[in-house]
C-alpha cells in the first residue's frame, strides 16, 4: 500500500514539474536556419532602416543634372556675343582688357563680359615678332639693325598702350573688318573719352599711317609726317648709330 502511495506521489511531482518548467512558444527566441536570410527589422512607420537604393540613385541623378547645368551656363557666358554686335558704323563703350602686338590690337570687354580683339583703324605699329617685321614698310633698309630697331619699338608701342589704356573705359567706333573678321576701330580715351588713340600712336612715333582710304586719312598722314620730321619714336632710327636701345 505504501509503495502505491509513493508511486502516485512521484507521478504527481513529475506532472507538476512539467507544467511549470516548459517555456511557451511565445517566450522562445526564433532561430534562423543555415542559408536563411535575416530580414531587417521594421520601424514604427513600416519602413526598413536600410537606405532605399532608389533614393540614392535619385540623389546622384540630381547632382549630375546640377553639374551639367552649371557647365552649360559657364560655356554660354564664355562664348557670349556683345549685346550690340560690333557691326560697321556702330559705337560702343568698352573696357580695355589688354594691349597686343605693337599696341595696335586691343582686347576689349563689353558690358555683358564678353571679350574680343579690335584693330586700330588706319595705323600700323611694328610687330613684336622678329619673323613678321617688315623694315621696308617703315622706309627702312632690310638689315638686322633695322629689324632689331623695329622689334624694340614694337614692344615700346605695346607698353605705351598698356600704360594709357589698361583697365580704362573707352569708346570705339567701328569702321570695318580685317580679312580675318577683326573689327577695325577708332578708339577714344581720356576723362571725356575724346582723345583719339590712333593719332596718339602716330604723333609719338609708335606707328605709321596705312594706305587704307578713310575719312581721317589726310589727318593721319599729316601726323605721321610731323613725327618723322621731329624724329619721334621709331623715326629716330639712324643706321650708323651703335645704340639701338629703346626709348
The domain tally of the chain equals 1
50 domain residue, yes or no: no
Q: What pLDDT is attached to residue 214?
A: 87
In contact, 101 and 127? CB cutoff 8 Å: yes
161 domain residue, yes or no: yes
Could you count the other beta carbons within 10 Å of the beta carbon of residue 109?
A: 17
Which pTM does this prediction carry? 0.64
Mean pLDDT by 10 residues, the chain (247 residues): 52 50 45 44 46 42 38 36 69 96 94 93 94 94 94 97 97 94 96 96 97 91 97 92 50
Neighbouring-strand partners of residue 120: 185
25 domain residue, yes or no: no
Q: What pLDDT is attached to residue 239?
A: 81
135 domain residue, yes or no: yes
For residue 110, the domain's CATH number is: 2.40.50.90
71 domain residue, yes or no: no
203 domain residue, yes or no: yes
Which 3 state secondary structure label does DSSP give 77?
helix
* DSSP-derived secondary structure letter, 223: H
Domain membership of residue 118 as a residue range: 91-236
CA-based nearest residue to 104, from 172, 203, 206: 206
Q: What pLDDT is attached to residue 168?
A: 97
Distance CA(140)–CA(235), nearest Å, equals: 10
Q: What pLDDT is attached to residue 197?
A: 98
Q: What pLDDT is attached to residue 75?
A: 32
Amino acid at each position: 500500500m505504501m509503495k502505491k502511495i509513493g508511486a502516485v506521489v512521484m507521478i504527481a511531482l513529475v506532472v507538476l514539474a512539467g507544467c511549470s518548467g516548459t517555456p511557451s512558444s511565445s517566450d522562445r527566441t526564433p532561430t534562423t536556419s543555415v542559408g536563411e536570410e535575416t530580414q531587417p527589422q521594421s520601424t514604427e512607420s513600416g519602413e526598413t532602416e536600410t537606405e532605399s537604393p532608389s533614393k540614392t540613385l535619385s540623389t546622384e541623378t540630381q547632382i549630375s543634372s546640377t553639374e551639367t547645368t552649371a557647365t552649360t551656363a559657364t560655356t554660354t557666358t564664355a562664348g557670349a556675343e556683345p549685346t550690340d554686335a560690333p557691326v560697321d558704323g556702330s559705337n560702343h563703350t568698352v573696357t580695355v582688357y589688354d594691349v597686343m602686338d605693337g599696341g595696335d590690337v586691343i582686347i576689349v570687354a563689353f558690358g555683358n563680359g564678353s571679350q574680343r580683339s579690335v584693330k586700330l583703324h588706319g595705323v600700323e605699329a611694328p610687330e613684336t615678332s622678329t619673323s613678321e617685321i617688315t623694315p621696308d614698310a617703315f622706309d627702312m633698309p632690310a638689315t638686322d639693325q633695322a629689324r632689331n630697331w623695329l622689334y624694340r619699338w614694337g614692344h615700346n608701342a605695346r607698353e605705351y598702350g598698356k600704360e594709357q589704356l589698361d583697365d580704362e573705359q573707352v569708346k570705339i567706333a567701328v569702321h570695318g573688318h580685317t580679312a580675318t573678321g577683326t573689327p577695325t576701330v577708332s578708339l577714344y580715351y581720356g576723362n571725356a573719352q575724346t582723345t583719339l588713340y590712333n593719332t596718339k600712336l602716330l604723333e609719338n612715333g609708335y606707328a605709321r599711317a596705312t594706305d587704307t582710304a578713310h575719312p581721317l586719312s589726310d589727318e593721319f598722314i599729316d601726323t605721321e609726317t610731323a613725327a618723322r620730321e621731329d624724329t619721334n619714336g621709331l623715326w629716330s632710327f639712324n643706321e650708323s648709330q651703335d645704340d639701338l636701345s629703346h626709348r
